[in-house]
Chain A
Amino acid sequence: MLFDVQVAEEGGWSVLTLTGELDLAAAPAVRSRVVALTSGGSSRLVIDLRGVDFLDSAGLGVLVGARKRVRQIDEAAGEVRLVATEPQVLRVLALAGLDRVMDVFDDRAAALDLAAGEVERA
């Protein structure tokens, strides 16, 4: 049950693909990748959470932090998009109200603007 973060550049977005349980144990690995990306000038991030089967407040904190950092380097165009399909993850995003301020997609291609189909926001 090792947590994994993969980073790729795709269609003008920096895409972080996370696998495993995003809790306090996993948060530092994601945070350090986000800091490295934003320090390198990336202000458009897609965080793919489809492989995440558990999310709690430590994980939410990382997502909120990512949004804050991209806005710091590019207030106008800085953006974090999430891709999520796991019910537990979607539920925690909704309970925390993150789905109201960040775009959540059920499809990675849609998040990358490669196809239409944004998930309707709550």
Chain B
Amino acid sequence: MPEVRLEIPARVEYLALARQVVAAAAALEPRFRDERIDDLRIAVSEATTNAIEAHADLGSHDRIVIRANLGDDRIEVEVHDVAGGFDPARVDAAPDAEAPDRLTYERGLGLPLIRTLTDESEIAPTERGTAVRLVVYSTRRDHPG
């Protein structure tokens, strides 16, 4: 399984590059339809945005590492930050789109998008920070939420 590894400064100017590299890696596998690559592009943007913001909150100058592993029918992407721990249970995620106070939230929209757009996603603490794992299959899997 070929791996693409990208290391970027934790700065917003590098978000577009992260999206482009991962989308280009997925496009190497002709089975990935454009819509799935778009899903991946958004999910990677969200995970990298969270990592950049976490570094900014901490004033960290460490780099963010993004690894993409392309399989026959799936791509797995990991976004690693080194900005201390992150507890997904404590994230102030925006409520469901149906909730009446939904539109008072200008932040917290990212994690729900990640869950909707990927087939698998996982946020786990690492020794020095957080790893977000995203899996997108070439054909959408039925999954809850």
A98 to B117, CA, bound (A): 17
Interface of A is mostly: helix
Say whether B46 contacts A56, CB under 8 Å. yes
Say whether B103 contacts A54, CB under 8 Å. no
Tell me the number of A-to-B contacts counted with CB atoms below 8 Å. 69
Say whether A58 contacts B49, CB under 8 Å. yes
Question: Given A54-B41, A56-B113, A68-B106: A23 and B15 within 8 A (CB)?
Answer: yes
A64 to B72, CA, bound (A): 39
A32 within 8 A of B: no
Number of interface residues of A (CB under 8 A): 25
Interface of B is mostly: helix
Show 22 residue pairs from A and B whose CB-CB distance is below 8 angstroms, ordered by the A residue.
Answer: A54-B41, A54-B45, A56-B42, A56-B49, A56-B113, A57-B107, A57-B113, A58-B110, A61-B107, A64-B103, A64-B104, A64-B109, A65-B106, A67-B103, A68-B106, A88-B38, A92-B42, A95-B113, A95-B116, A97-B96, A97-B97, A97-B102
Q: In the complex, which residue of chain B has the Cβ closest to the Cβ of A97? A: B97
A96 within 8 A of B: yes
Say whether B98 contacts A25, CB under 8 Å. no
- Specify which chain A residues have a CB less than 8 angstroms from the CB of B49 in the assembled complex: 23-24, 56-58
